[in-house]
Structure 1
C-alpha cells in the first residue's frame, strides 16, 4: 500500500519539488500522537504528516478532512480533499462534499456580515470596550476561517481600545498565536518581547512566563538560532504543562505540547552546547527534567553524549529521524541540527587521539547519506576548519597535526621574561623620577581650579616642578 501511495501523482510532485518523503513507518502511533493537540495546530500537523509520509498519508488525510468539516476553513477542506484524491482516488474521503462546502461558505459569509454590522454599531456608539470586543470577535472569526492576515489586522485594531495592561497582554498573545500559524517567526519574536515587557504583576506575570519561554524558543529554533532556542526551552517552567488558558488559548495543546518542548530543547541543546553545559544546564536542571521524563530517549541521548559515548547517542537520534521529519516545525531544521550534533561528536571523539584509522571512524560514525564515504565528510570538516587533522590515504589514518611541546614551553618562558623585564624597567624609571623630584603634585596653597586631567590642575603641578628645579 505504501509503495502505491509513494508512486501517486501527489508524491511524485512532492519529490520533484525537493520535499522530503518518509517511506518507513515512524515509531509513534498517529492517533495517540495527534490526540495531544487541538485547534489549528492539529490540522496543520495532520496535513504535514499526510503530505510527507507515504506510510501514514491516507490515515492522516482522512482524520484531517473529518476535522476540517467541523470548522469554518472551507479552503483547507477543499485542499485536503484534492490532495487525497491524487493519493488515493478511490477513497470515500477523497470525494468533495460540494453541498457541505456551499452551505458552509454561505454560513461563513452570513456570520462575517453579522460581525461587520455589530462592529459598525459599536463604533457609532463610541463604547471602547464594545469596539475592542467586536474587533476581537472578528479576529477569532478570521482565524477560524484560515485568513491569517485579516485576523492579524483585526487583533491589531484592538490596541487603541484596550483600557488595561491585561487587555494589551491578551491582544499581544493573540498576535503571537496568529504569527505562529503564519510561521512568521520575526513577528513571533517581536510580539513575545512586547508581552514580556507588559506591565503585569503577580500571578498574571508568572502565568505568562512559561508561554513566553516556549514561544521564544520555537521562534529561535525555526530561524536556526539553536543556542538561544535551547536556553529558552530548558528554562521553561514545568507549570506550562498545567497552565490554564491565557487569552482564550490552551497553549500546551494548541501550540506546543510538553513532549515538543522536551524534544526541541534537547536537540537544540545537543547541537549548541558542550558536555559540561549539557550536564549542568540540561541534565541537572530540575525544571527541564519534568519535560525530559516525557521523552526518555532524549535524556538518554544527552547522557550518552556527556559520557563520551557518541556513536550510541547518534544511533538513538537516527532511530527517531523519521518521527522528527514528520514534525511540522522540526522537519525544516532537522538536517542542520543532526549535522551539528554529528560534527561535534566527531571532533570530541578525536581530541584524545594522535591518530585513528579511517575504518574505525567509519565504524563508530555510520554514514547517514549526506556523504558517500567517511573520507569525504572528514575532508569537508578539515577544509572548513571544524576539525584540526590530516588524512593519510596511504595508511588510511586520520592524524592529528604534530605539535612541539618543548617549543611552546620555551616560547611562553621567553614571553614571560620579556614582560617581566619591561615591567621592571618601568618601575625603575618611576623610582628615578621620584628621586629627581619630578613627581607632579597639586600646589597645597592654591586650590585646584579644575578636575584631574584638565589644563588648570596640570599647570599648577608644572609650576611646582619648576620651583623645585629653580626655574621660577
Structure 2
C-alpha cells in the first residue's frame, strides 16, 4: 500500500518540487503520537505527516479530515480532501461532503453576523467589559474558522478595554497562540516579552512561567537560535506537564507537548553546548530530567556524547531522523541541528590525536552523498577544525604547536594587562589627591568640578604629571 501511495500524483509532484518525502516507516505509533495534541495543532501535525510520509499518508489524512469536520474551518476541510483525493482517490474520505460544507458555511456566516451585531450593540452602550468579551468571542470565531489575521486583529482590539492585569495577560497569550499557529515567530517573541513584563504576581505569574519558557524555546528554535532555545527549554519547570489552562488554552496539548520540550531541548543543547555544559545543564538538571524521562533516546544520545562516544551518539540520532522529519516544527531546522552536532563530534573526536587516517574518520563518521575529505576540507576552510589534510598518505594531521611559546605569550599578555590596570588606578588616586573629583550638584543635578583651594584644571594636571614623573 505504501509503495502505491508513494507513486501517487501527490508525492510525485512533491518530489518534482524538491520537497522532502520520508519513504521509510517511522518508529512512533500514529495514534499514540497524535493523542498528545488537540485542536488545530492536531490537524496541523496530521497534515504534515500525511503530506510527507507515504507510509502514514492514508491514516493521517483520514484522521485529519475527520477532525476538520468537527470544526468550523471549511477551507481546511476541502484542502485536506483535495490532497487526499490525489493520494487515494477510491477512499471514501477523499470525497468532499458537499452538503456538510454548504451547511457549515451558512452556519459560520450566521454566527459571524450575530457576533458582529452583538459587538456593535456593546459599543453603542459603551460597556467596556462587554466590548472586551465581544472582541474576544469574535477572535475565537475567526481563529476557529482559520482566519488568523482577523483573529489577531480582534484580540488586539481587546487591549483598550482590559480592566485588569489578568485580562491583559490573557489577551497577550491569545496573541501568542495565534502567532504560533501562523508560525510568525517574531510576533511570538514580542508578545511573550509582554507577558513576562506583566504585573501578575504569585500563583498567576508562576503558572505562566513554564508556558513562556516553552514557547520562547520553540520560537528561538524555529529561527535557528539553538543556544537561546536550549536555554529556555532547559529552564522550563516540570509543572508544565500538569499546568492548568491559561487564557482558555491547554498549552501542553494545543501548542507544544512535554515530549516536544524534551526532544527540542535535548537536540538544541546537543547542537549548541559543549560536553561540560551538557553534563551540568542537561543531565545534571533535576527539573529537565522529568522531561528527558519521556524521551529516553535523547538522554541516551547526550550521555554518549558526554562519554566521548560520538559515532554512537550520531547513530542514535540518525535512527530517529525520519521521526523528526515528520515533526511540523523540527523538520524545518533538522538539517542545521544535525550538521552542528556532527561537526562538534568530529572536532571533539580529533582533539586528542596528532593525526588520524581518513579511512578511520570515514568509518567513525560515515556520510552519504559526499566524501569525508570534502567535509573536513570545508571545516578547515571555515576555521571550525584546526588541522591539515595529507592526501598522499591519507591523513588528517594536527598542526604542530609550541607550548613554551604559548605559555610565554600568555604570561606577557597578563603582565601588560596588569601594568595597564595599575596605571589606571594610580591615575585615579592622583586625580583624587589633586582635587579633581567630579561630583553631582545636589541642587540642580548637574556635574561640576571641585577645584580644591581654587586650583585650576591645568594646575591639577601638572600636579598629576609631577607625581607620576612625567614632567
TM-score (norm 1): 0.90
- Cα separation, 1, equivalents of 2:416 and 2:239: 59
Residue 6 (1) aligns with residue 6 (2): yes
Q: What SS is found at the alignment partner of 1:387?
A: coil
Q: Deviations over 1:136-166 (max 9, x none)?
A: 0000000000110000001001011100000
- Cα separation, 1, equivalents of 2:338 and 2:459: 69
Contact 2:435 2:451 in 1 (8 A): no
Task: State the structure with more CA Rg.
Answer: 1
Residue 51 (1) aligns with residue 51 (2): yes
Name the structure 1 match of 2:278: 278
Distance change in 2, residues 1:248/1:462 (3 Å): closer
Q: How does 1:45-444 map to 2 (within 5 A)?
A: 45-367=45-367, 369=368, 371-409=369-407
- Cα separation, 1, equivalents of 2:412 and 2:168: 64
- Cα separation, 1, equivalents of 2:335 and 2:413: 46
User: What displacement does 1:407 show?
Assistant: 4.0
- Cα separation, 1, equivalents of 2:63 and 2:226: 33
Q: What SS is found at the alignment partner of 2:86?
A: helix
Name the structure 2 match of 1:25: 25
Contact 1:45 1:327 in 2 (8 A): yes
Q: Deviations over 1:307-364 (max 9, x none)?
A: 1110111010000000000000000000000000000000000000000011111111
Contact 2:128 2:161 in 1 (8 A): yes
Q: Could you list the runs of 4 or more consecutive aligned residues of structure 1 that deviate by over 4 angstroms after TM superposition?
A: 409-420, 439-443, 452-455, 457-465
Q: How does 1:430-469 map to 2 (within 5 A)?
A: 450-451=449-450, 456-458=455-457
Name the structure 1 match of 2:34: 34
User: What displacement does 1:13 show?
Assistant: 1.5
- Cα separation, 1, equivalents of 2:378 and 2:182: 36
Q: What SS is found at the alignment partner of 2:181?
A: helix
Name the structure 1 match of 2:441: none
Q: Deviations over 1:383-442 (max 9, x none)?
A: 11111111111111110111233444555677788899x89xx9xx99xxx9xxxx9756
User: What displacement does 1:18 show?
Assistant: 2.0
Contact 2:46 2:64 in 1 (8 A): yes
Q: What SS is found at the alignment partner of 1:401?
A: coil
Contact 1:450 1:456 in 2 (8 A): no
User: What displacement does 1:216 show?
Assistant: 0.5
- Cα separation, 2, equivalents of 1:47 and 1:86: 14
Contact 1:23 1:54 in 2 (8 A): yes
Distance change in 2, residues 1:179/1:442 (3 Å): closer
- Cα separation, 1, equivalents of 2:97 and 2:39: 22
Q: What SS is found at the alignment partner of 1:287?
A: coil
Contact 2:435 2:452 in 1 (8 A): no
Q: Deviations over 1:115-152 (max 9, x none)?
A: 11111111111111011001000000000001100000
- Cα separation, 1, equivalents of 2:461 and 2:363: 77
User: What displacement does 1:462 show?
Assistant: 8.1
Name the structure 1 match of 2:443: none
- Cα separation, 2, equivalents of 1:25 and 1:458: 81
Contact 1:213 1:232 in 2 (8 A): yes
- Cα separation, 1, equivalents of 2:191 and 2:31: 33
The alignment's C-alpha RMSD in Å is: 2.7
User: What displacement does 1:24 show?
Assistant: 0.3
Distance change in 2, residues 1:454/1:294 (3 Å): farther
Contact 2:179 2:188 in 1 (8 A): yes
Contact 2:85 2:94 in 1 (8 A): yes
Distance change in 2, residues 1:357/1:67 (3 Å): same
TM-score (norm 2): 0.90
- Cα separation, 2, equivalents of 1:26 and 1:243: 30
Contact 1:355 1:400 in 2 (8 A): yes
User: What displacement does 1:463 show?
Assistant: 9.8
User: What displacement does 1:263 show?
Assistant: 0.2
Contact 2:240 2:252 in 1 (8 A): yes
Name the structure 1 match of 2:467: none
Q: Deviations over 1:243-296 (max 9, x none)?
A: 111000000000011100000000000000011111111111111000000001
Of residues 2-11 and 242-251 in structure 1, the stretch that sits farther from structure 2 once superposed is 2-11
Q: What SS is found at the alignment partner of 1:398?
A: strand
Q: What SS is found at the alignment partner of 2:384?
A: coil
Q: What SS is found at the alignment partner of 1:356?
A: strand
- Cα separation, 1, equivalents of 2:364 and 2:138: 57
- Cα separation, 1, equivalents of 2:138 and 2:433: 77
Structure 2: 5+ residue runs without aligned partners? 437-447, 465-471
